[in-house]
A and B are shown apart, each in its own frame.
Chain A
Amino acid sequence: MMLNHDILIVGGGLTGLRAAVGLCDKFNVGLISKVYPVRSHSIAAQGGINASLANNPDGRDDTWEKHAFDTIKGSDYLGDQNAIEIMCKEAPGVVYEMEHWGCPFSRFPDGTIAQRPFGGGGFPRTCFSADITGHSLLNTLYERAVYKKVKIYPEWFVIALCVDDGQCHGVIVLDMKSGKLIPVRAKVTIFGTGGYGRVYRNSTNALINTGSGIGMAYKAGVPLKDMEFVQFHPTTLIGTNILMTEGCRGEGGYLLNNKGERFMQKYAPGAMELAPRDIVSRCIMTEMEEGRGFEHPLGTYIQLDLRHLGEKKISERLPGIRSICIDFIGIDPVKEPIPIMPSQHYSMGGIDVNEKGASSVKGFYAAGECACVSVHGANRLGGNSLLDTIVFGKLTAQAIEEDLPKSKLKPKEKPLLALKKEMEKKISALSQPGGERPYKLAADLGAVMNEKVGIFRTKKELVQALDEVIKIKERYKKVSISSADLHMNFELQNALELENMLDVAHTIVLGALLREESRGAHFRRDFPKRNDKKWLKHTIAKIGKKGEPLISFKEVKITKYQPMERKY
C-alpha cells in the first residue's frame, strides 16, 4: 500500500497545523503526527507570543522595527536580519488572525489583547492567554483545522525521510495502532517536528521532543544549521524541570540567592530579572557555583519569589504556574518562593532553511522549532518561538502555494519502496534479543549532554563528550528491544528515536567544540569573548559517508544593524 498526497505535513504542533490550514483549500494535504495534535509540545507554552501591537499603556511607541532590533540584539547578531524583519513585520497580522479564529487572549480593560513585558524586549509586547498561551493557540489552530476538514493521521510515527537524486519523495510511517509500515508519497514534504530537548537529561520539553525530524532530515542528507546553540531556561522547577514561565518575572517576580539578594543587580542592573535567558541562566549558575544557592535533595537551587505579587495577581495571571507548583512540588507560590534551576529549553539550531521554509533539497521544507531560518541566532527571546512557528508555518504554506503549480516535481515510488525495505530490516535487527536496552543509552547520552555540553563549556569537556557520543553510537548498533510487535510498541519507538537523537547530539557537540568563541547561549570558558572577525557565521553540518557530520560555514545576513556589544 502506498499513500499519496500533494503535500505531506509532518507535525501537529503550531507549525504543522498553521501550514496545513494555509494549504488545504487548494491542495490534497495530509498531516501526520505521532501524537494527537493537541498533545504536541506547543500545548505546553506558557508565557506568550510577541507582536508590536502597542496595546500596553507602557508600550504605545512600540513598532515592528523595535521588535526586530530587540530580536537581532538578543540573537547576539547571529540571526539573519532579513528573516527577522519579515517575522516581526508579520507578527501583528498573525496575532490578529489567531484572535479572529477564536484564540482566547487575555484582555486589557479596554478590550484589547493584553501584553506583558518579557526578557530582552524593550517594550511590553508579549501577548498572552493567562499562562497557557500555547494551549490556547494550539487549540485554536486545531479547531481551525477541524473547521477546514484537514486530513489528519494521528498516532502515525514517521521513521524515515526519503530523499533520492536531490529530491524528496515522501516518508515511511509506522501506524502505531495497526502496526503497519506505510510509504507516503508526496510532491512536497514539510517538517514541523519540533525540538530535541530530550537529548539532554534535564529539559523543560515534553517526553516526545526527541528531535527525530531533525535527525531524519540529517540522515537523508539535508544540512543542519547552528546546532551548537541550545537554550537553557533560567527558571525550571527542581526535580521535574517543568517550566516556570518567564511571565513570572514579566509580572514582577524576583530571583533570590541564599543571602536574600536580588543578585541580577550585580550582572544586569538595567534589565534585572528580565535580561535575556542566556545571561540570566549564566548568572544563576554562577551564584550556585559560588555557594550562594540553596541545597535540596533534588539539587542546588535559586528562589523565584512571587509572594509580593499577591494572591489576586498570581491567580489571575499565573494560575497554571500556581497549580503546577502545588501538584508537582507541594509549594504554593503565594506563600513560598519557588525552587528553580536552569535546564535545557529550546533548540535554536535545526534544519537549514530559508525564509520560505525551503531546504536545499527539492520538495523538502521545514519550519518551527525543528528548523533554523535563522531568526533566533545564538539566543532566542521569550515569546519569539510561538511567533516563529505561526509566521513561518504560514509563509512556508504561501511559498508552496505559489511554487507548486509551476513545478514539475514527480515523486517516485521506487526509492520509497527501497527505503521501506531498509526500515523493515532495521526493525527486525532491533528485535534480536541479547543486546543492551535502549533506555540505558538514552540515559547515558542525556548525562553526557547535561554535564559536558551545558551552559558553560570547555574544550576539554567537549572533546570528552564527542568521544562518548561516538561510543554510544557504536553501542547503538547492538541495542535490542523486548518485543517484535509493531503496534503500540513504545519501546520500539524509543529505540528508533534514539538513533536520531544520537545524530542530533553529535552535531551539537561538534559544532560547540569547533566554535571557539562565546556568543548567546554558547559560552566557552576558554574563549569567553564574542569574536565577530572569525565567528560571525552560521555552522552547517551535513552527514558524511560514515554518518559523521561534515562542517562548513555560511554567511550571516546583515541588513542595517551592525554588531554591537550586548549590554542590558
Chain B
Amino acid sequence: MIKSDFYTFKILRYDAKEPKKDPYFALYKIRVIPGLTVLGMLLRIRDEIDGTLSFRSSCRSAICGSCAMVINGKIDLACRTQVAVFETDTIILEPLPNFEVIKDLVVDMTPFWQMYEKVQPYLVRKSPEPEKEIYQSENDRKKIDQFVNCILCACCYGACPVLNRDENYAGPAALAKLQRFSADSRDERATGVLEKFNNEQGVWGCDTVFRCIDACPKDVRPTDGIVGLRKTLLKNKAKELLGVKEK
C-alpha cells in the first residue's frame, strides 16, 4: 500500500573524484503512484529533479543485475522493489557494501569480476566434441538449475560478513559459479582444480550464516553451492586416501 502521495527519498551521495567532500544524504520529495518501483522513482528523480544523480540500470526487469543497492537497510535490486512494500513513506538508498564507491549509488565492481574470473567460470572439456549435443539427463540439468539462475548482481557479495573482514575471500557468487560448473555433468575439470579453493579464502572461509541467501534476488542459495563444493572436496580427499585414481 502506498503510504502517502509524496515520498521522501534519502540518497547517499559521494563522488570519488572529490574525496575531500564527505558523503552526505540528499533529500528528494516526489509524488508516487501505485505500482512504481524504486528504480522507476530513481529515474524520475534524475530526470525531473537532479540530473547529477548516478546509479546503474538496464533491463528494469530483474534479469541484468545492474541495480543492486541497499534499500531501507536491505540489499535488493531497485527495479524489483515496489515502493509500496515499505511501512514508511521515507526510502533510504545507499550503495552496495563491500565495494568502493565511484559515484553515488555506482560502486566499483572490479573485485567482484576478478573473483569471478578466478574460478574458471566456463565449461571445461577434455573429450572430443560430439557431432551433436553432449547428452545430459533432465535430472543432471536440474542439479545446476539454481546456480544457472545467478545474474551476477553482487547482492550476495554486498551482504557477506566474511568479505567485509577479508577481501581475499572468493565470496558467494564466485563459489556458486564454481559449483555451477563443478556439478555440471558435462564438465571435465580435473579434481585438483578445486584444491585452489580448499582453504579459508575459498570454501572454508564461509561462516554459513546465510546472509547471501537472504540477499539473493534469484534464489540461487550460494551457501548450498559452498556446502556442495565442500562435500566434493572431502569426497575427493577420501578417494585419494583410499588410493582411487582420477580417470
Contact = CB atoms under 8 A, between A and B. Distances in A.
A207 B60 contact: yes
Contact of A132 (B56, B80, B103, B149): B149
B24 to A, nearest CB: 17
A341 to B, nearest CB: 15
B141 A104 contact: yes
Interface in A141-155: 143-144, 146-147
A292 B145 CA distance: 40
A143 B121 contact: yes
Given A144-B122, A207-B57, A132 B51 contact: no
B62 interface: yes
Interface centre among B43, B80, B123 (most CB of A within 10 A): B123
A63 interface: no
B141 A106 contact: yes
A39 B62 contact: no
A509 interface: no
Given A146-B117, A327-B62, A99 B51 contact: no
A487 B51 contact: no
B244 interface: no
B184 A102 contact: yes
Interface stretch (B86-94, B125-133, B207-215): B125-133
B141 A99 contact: no
Interface residues of A, number: 61
Interface string B115-157: 0110011110100010111111110010011001101100000
A38 B122 contact: no
A146 B123 CA distance: 11
A328 B123 contact: no
B134 A135 contact: no
Contacts of A144: 122
B72 interface: no
Given A36-B109, A112-B133, A146 B46 contact: no
A483 B123 contact: no
B185 to A, nearest CB: 10
Interface string B1-43: 0000000000000000100000000000000000101000001
B17 A112 contact: no
Contacts of A129: 148
A534 B122 CA distance: 52
B106 interface: yes
A208 B79 CA distance: 14
Contacts of A96: 131-133
A324 B59 CA distance: 12
B141 A100 contact: no
B233 interface: no
A526 to B, nearest CB: 36
Q: Is the interface of A mostly helix, strand, loop or mixed?
A: loop
B186 interface: yes
Contact of B35 (A100, A108, A207, A239): A239
A96 B122 CA distance: 16
Contacts of A39: 56, 58-59, 64-66
A105 B100 CA distance: 36
A490 B46 contact: yes
A239 B46 CA distance: 20
Contacts of A139: 148
A99 B134 contact: yes
A206 B125 CA distance: 34
Interface size bucket, B side? 35 or more
B80 A481 contact: no
B51 A491 contact: yes
B21 to A, nearest CB: 13
B157 to A, nearest CB: 14
Given A99-B133, A177-B102, A328-B80, A41 B52 contact: no
Nearest to B57: A207
Contacts of B58: 35, 39-41, 206-208
B59 A107 contact: no
B61 A488 contact: no
B48 interface: yes
Interface centre among A41, A43, A96, A179 (most CB of B within 10 A): A43
Nearest to A243: B61
Contacts of A113: 133
B141 to A, nearest CB: 5
Interface in A464-519: 481-483, 485, 487-491
Nearest to A95: B133
A286 B137 CA distance: 45
Interface in A110-149: 110-113, 129-130, 132, 135-136, 139, 143-144, 146-147
B103 A107 contact: no
B54 interface: yes
Nearest to B120: A147
A36 B65 CA distance: 10
The 4 lowest CB-CB distance pairs between A and B, nearest first, are A102-B123, A482-B51, A111-B135, A439-B47
12 contacts: A39-B59, A43-B64, A44-B63, A106-B141, A110-B135, A111-B135, A111-B138, A130-B145, A135-B151, A328-B61, A437-B48, A437-B51
Interface of B: 17, 35, 37, 43, 46-48, 50-52, 54-66, 80, 82, 102-104, 106, 108-109, 113, 116-117, 120-123, 125, 129, 131-138, 141, 144-145, 148-149, 151-152, 181, 184, 186-187
Given A112-B132, A324-B62, A487-B17, 14 more contacts: A39-B66, A41-B58, A43-B59, A130-B145, A146-B116, A206-B64, A207-B59, A298-B35, A329-B35, A482-B50, A482-B52, A487-B102, A487-B103, A490-B55
